[in-house]
Structure 1
């Protein structure tokens, strides 16, 4: 005897209106589509396991910013462009003036010289010929290499070395203030000049660790190595990526256990996890085929793709379990679940994808790469979770245990949903809105303290107690010249960079900067001219000035270091040493330079910003500051437009988008209170949180509208909404939150920050959809008008 429910379902499935074209296309060709999935998964999976970590100095900076354009236009004329490493060799007992230490330093210098990627012409160490001393004697200028001729390590040679260092002006730069260490300074090529291959930061960092730190600390117990610089920081970040495999495993196991607790169904647990893992492999394989690698920032995107896949997979499992509990067979339950979810699912995922793609407007390549990776991943989830997942479930179905779980817990859950439906009650909704307004006020108040850029010394992407940041702290504490260098370029006509008016302008800028908070010191051609002029006049300080006599100026800069003048004397830099690279320090220094340039620039000389690692940071901060609000406008604009096109109601859009907006403001407030600045690593979180958070609102509103159009009251419609999809939304929010909260324990600080922020946004977006959306609906929606309009359109 046939089951009446099956009969009803079969009859329903045969009506053209109930059986969309996509449903017929997919479920009438199940075997062929699954075979195609298998082939694609093997192909893309093979490519996925071959994807490589990727990092590039130029891809992590805003190449179109005027500062960076100026820097790259004059890269051949400048040192201190920002991509270098400083290797401090510390004498743990005593000072550097002993034979064994100097021999170790010589070996390290030679070792660094032959590392791939090092600009050997720019390498500096006490043992390199470009580090010299100069003095004025009765016979005129005398000088030579800091390492004395005939050096043999004897006490006399070491004393001669000490005198040469004191005369070299390198104390505080290459030599520590207490003579306890010296620096090997190694500028780097972004690309190998012979092969054109980009610098492999991971390999370079490993070479520094193995061939420099480990090797020489083992050889000489009195030596300790400290290494800082962009390349080492990126290398450490890539090294930290290895730990992400552990977090991936933890996330998968935790998600699997939670899914089983939710569904009590083996197939309802393993299939969505499998489909989400397939989506990750497809994404990684496609990225490799498109020529992308995984940089330290986009490496987290596969986590998000997995999370989004689980988010939508739970909806499929929930819908199938409800249909199976009614008595439908697996194929019918799968088709009904697909029919109910494909429109809201596609809308939510398309909103996610377009939300992520708005990051393409930010002119920093690593953020663009992240946008492409996230957008591509979401596009793949549309296929794996709305096609692969239902097709597999159509063969396997919900287990008897899963069906019993739905049937046995229905009454208990009904009581819970009945209580939660009061969020839409006329007496409760105003209280919810009042709480939301208070939260909005607090968020707006605290977010005023949100800063753009780094808020701490060292590398904020790494933990404060990381080896890199400990090394950085050592250099800050023992050297008077900071590693944070802002380079101001002064451009003149050819052969005019040493003119009196140019040097006076340099000197004027330096005076302004030396009276600026956060600036340690500065160096320019004007300093060289003043020092040598004084030396030529018996060291009398009255002569410590720029001479108006051009002949004297020409004589004074004859021995100027190569880094302070280019070959045709058309460019000379001002090196500004900053206390740190915090956002406020950078902005203060940049504002001073820009104000001075505005009044000093003329036909004879033009002040251009900016090179040096601090110049790069300043440009990056400016781009992010301008892009933040624009990105939010685009994200919310795209999400609102897609919701408007789908629901054809501005009121519906407000119900879905307003809770997201509250979450964004509260997230920025939490960032301000927690001391997390907006930078390359954290800016995408805002877009990602909005993109994923909109899913909750779309699923809730889709069901709510359906029940309202059936003639139910708002509270009754919301009760039915919670019964049908509320559990899945709550579970998804909790699961996604717990999945990313494990990142807080990552050795990579920015990954921990992203985990913390995403944890908040996932949970709070879920709360907003469950709690605030029905309260807004109470004041915005007009169920009777919606019903009348729907009846008129029929």
Structure 2
């Protein structure tokens, strides 16, 4: 069947090439219109308990797109007119920012921060600093004293040393465009930033806005990686076809994938461009293998008019199986990620599977078809021959495989895998370090985050809800209020949680105000009736939206908002475990606790899914790979054999992630899944060439030598070129891209070394029958079997 496919493609080459290039032109138009942006909803595992809570209450208690802006002075305190004027101007300007939630803008200059007072006329409240900034020393001193008396402001919105103050604003999840919000917020800050006040800004819209901000740099790195790839291919292969045909294969696969995804309505996530580059590199790799095999066949065939057609047909027929198996293995291993309930990973899976599948057209078929028009070359494109140096590596591989050194290689490989596997057990789920892992530690965003966390309770928030929709007024009860108060004292014992806020913090202020500010009464009421009255008083002096921080309109559900100083996976897991511990130890007679909303609640849901599915996904991907190899080679031993290089590359890469503190999170999971398929591609070419030589009647020694000097040369060339181009990503301003580029370089290096040293040694020692089954009438039929030969 493969021979017939190869013969048809070469015989009808004009039709095949014309149809493929016409489709490429059509899909290219759609590819140019694909949307490049981050969609927040795609990051949420909608079926998770925490996300359901988040979606239900985010409009009341605050979503996960909170932006925090800090105004910081070096001398004196923030109670200066020029400082507070900037706070007021930014607070008012935020109303005009795209997708802003008007009811979630909070600062000293907003109406939300108030002072509650009691007098003979009753309870009254006054905004601390609205509508204008105090213009006298007396007014500024009064504002300062009002802040110091209010624990809901002094600490949460004005730092304890009085040198910084915050503005917080939330955005509507369904409408937020990170790039637009980023530009508008930075533009607003630029208008008031004269250097006299240090202004810092953090939050997910700002974080992902930085990603969009660096897209031009990312595109430049893509162009640089492509340029390096082409230059190295030209130097190593010394032919123009060795440069332009792999480039054509990569370009066609990219155009087809982006065009098809545009038709499917899938947007392109800027962070996954490393994955896209890696898949495109697979097209280059497959194409180089075919070009290399074409050159080998061209050298063996006598001169003639049809020599290029014959060489192209042989290259297509002989490399069709390993090429297709590599493509299918990559696609199948990546498809496992689709089992995750996270839409972003599901969309990325579709994009990746489509992209990988296009390699069957762009590399496996189009490359040999184009080669069939190549004339026999009269010389090389340049005089510098680097291949002898590479052949020395192949000579070493042959010498090790055919000597006792093969046992040493297998023994060392086993020890390395066991050691790396044990060390990789410490791989962290979620973010492994303070700050965002997307950016470098010295990036302005991470510096701003650290500065705000040092002065305030924490920039990242989680809300936990207590209540029951069927019981309006539940939150006014003494049991609910005391439960929230008790919970806050319990959870704040965790050092990474800087503070918390609930209705149980606001009512004591009202209670104390009723008694002329006597701090002795800074506590909750002693009965349901008293607490109900305190709530009613607070509500009576509030404006629409003021109570949203604490409760819904029916007082059926109340929130406890926790402020986190970092997003590390261990911090989040500890907090969730402690919350569940408290709930189990303190049952309620009415109402129940609901976890968990806010950015930390969403991250907790994502981390739990990754933690629960990581091992299963890896195991399933390995199983898929084993089944594919078993079906293609009709041998269960083939499935086990090809898992060896995958296990080696994955264990070493996971160990490196553990060593460098790279956590397994929503951004790194797709790279890990693709790496499973990546780890076996090179091994397919080596094993299939050995099988081909054995079927032609070669001895095992000659088969190994021929396979390593033919397919092995393609492995060295492609691995060397791709490793070098991939390492360019270390220059990226985005830490995530740099680290993923480094991971891919490690994966490629280990995969290449495994294919050149471990796989030939395994095959030569164990002599699996799916490779060494002798054809009829071959002299191998009478050759003695290896004592290790596997059925």
Does TM-score exceed 0.5, indicating one fold?
yes
Given the alignment of the two structures, is residue 214 of structure 1 paired with residue 190 of structure 2, yes or no? yes
Given the alignment of the two structures, is residue 375 of structure 1 paired with residue 349 of structure 2, yes or no? no
Describe how 1:20-419 pairs up with structure 2 within 5 A.
20-79=3-62, 81-91=63-73, 93-136=75-118, 141-147=123-129, 153-168=135-150, 169-191=152-174, 198-209=175-186, 211-217=187-193, 220-327=194-301, 329-397=307-375, 399-402=377-380, 417-419=394-396
Q: How many Å separate the matches in 1 of 2:79 and 2:143?
A: 8
Corresponding residue SS for 1:497: helix
Deviation at 1:753, TM superposition (A): 1.2
C-alpha spacing 1:397/1:600, structure 2 compared with 1 (3 Å): farther
C-alpha contact 2:730 2:738 (8 A) present in aligned 1: yes
Deviations 1:694-738 (A, max 9, x none): 111111111112223344443332111112211001212222211
C-alpha contact 1:349 1:382 (8 A) present in aligned 2: yes
Deviation at 1:399, TM superposition (A): 2.8
Name the structure 1 match of 2:598: 612
Name the structure 2 match of 1:9: none
Q: How many Å separate the matches in 1 of 2:76 and 2:399?
A: 75
C-alpha spacing 1:427/1:159, structure 2 compared with 1 (3 Å): same
Q: How many Å separate the matches in 1 of 2:513 and 2:777?
A: 96
Q: How many Å separate the matches in 2 of 1:378 and 1:766?
A: 20
Which deviates more from structure 2 when the two are superposed, residues 656-665 or residues 522-531?
522-531
Q: How many Å separate the matches in 2 of 1:235 and 1:188?
A: 14
Which deviates more from structure 2 when the two are superposed, residues 663-672 or residues 326-335?
326-335
Deviation at 1:484, TM superposition (A): 2.0
Name the structure 1 match of 2:464: 488
Name the structure 2 match of 1:437: 414
C-alpha contact 2:650 2:679 (8 A) present in aligned 1: no
Which deviates more from structure 2 when the two are superposed, residues 226-235 or residues 97-106?
97-106
Name the structure 2 match of 1:460: 437
Name the structure 2 match of 1:6: none
Name the structure 2 match of 1:12: none
Q: How many Å separate the matches in 2 of 1:665 and 1:150?
A: 61
Name the structure 1 match of 2:551: 565
Corresponding residue SS for 1:490: strand
Given the alignment of the two structures, is residue 657 of structure 1 paired with residue 682 of structure 2, yes or no? no
Given the alignment of the two structures, is residue 421 of structure 1 paired with residue 398 of structure 2, yes or no? yes
C-alpha spacing 1:540/1:713, structure 2 compared with 1 (3 Å): farther
Deviation at 1:48, TM superposition (A): 2.0
Deviation at 1:314, TM superposition (A): 0.7
Which deviates more from structure 2 when the two are superposed, residues 245-254 or residues 88-97?
88-97
TM-score normalized by the length of structure 1: 0.91
Deviation at 1:246, TM superposition (A): 1.3
Corresponding residue SS for 2:84: helix
Which deviates more from structure 2 when the two are superposed, residues 91-100 or residues 288-297?
91-100
C-alpha contact 1:265 1:402 (8 A) present in aligned 2: yes
C-alpha contact 2:634 2:770 (8 A) present in aligned 1: no
Deviations 1:294-316 (A, max 9, x none): 21333333312320111101111
Q: Give the total of aligned pairs.
A: 764
C-alpha spacing 1:423/1:63, structure 2 compared with 1 (3 Å): farther
Q: How many Å separate the matches in 2 of 1:132 and 1:705?
A: 80
C-alpha spacing 1:607/1:236, structure 2 compared with 1 (3 Å): same
Unpaired stretches in structure 1, ≥5 consecutive residues = 1-16, 192-197
C-alpha contact 1:260 1:266 (8 A) present in aligned 2: yes
C-alpha contact 2:84 2:133 (8 A) present in aligned 1: no
Unpaired stretches in structure 2, ≥5 consecutive residues = 540-546, 782-791
C-alpha contact 2:391 2:713 (8 A) present in aligned 1: no
Name the structure 1 match of 2:785: none
C-alpha spacing 1:23/1:294, structure 2 compared with 1 (3 Å): same
Deviations 1:303-331 (A, max 9, x none): 12320111101111101101111235222
Given the alignment of the two structures, is residue 622 of structure 1 paired with residue 596 of structure 2, yes or no? no
Corresponding residue SS for 2:106: coil
Corresponding residue SS for 2:188: helix
Say what the alpha-carbon RMSD is for the aligned residues: 2.6
Deviation at 1:784, TM superposition (A): 10
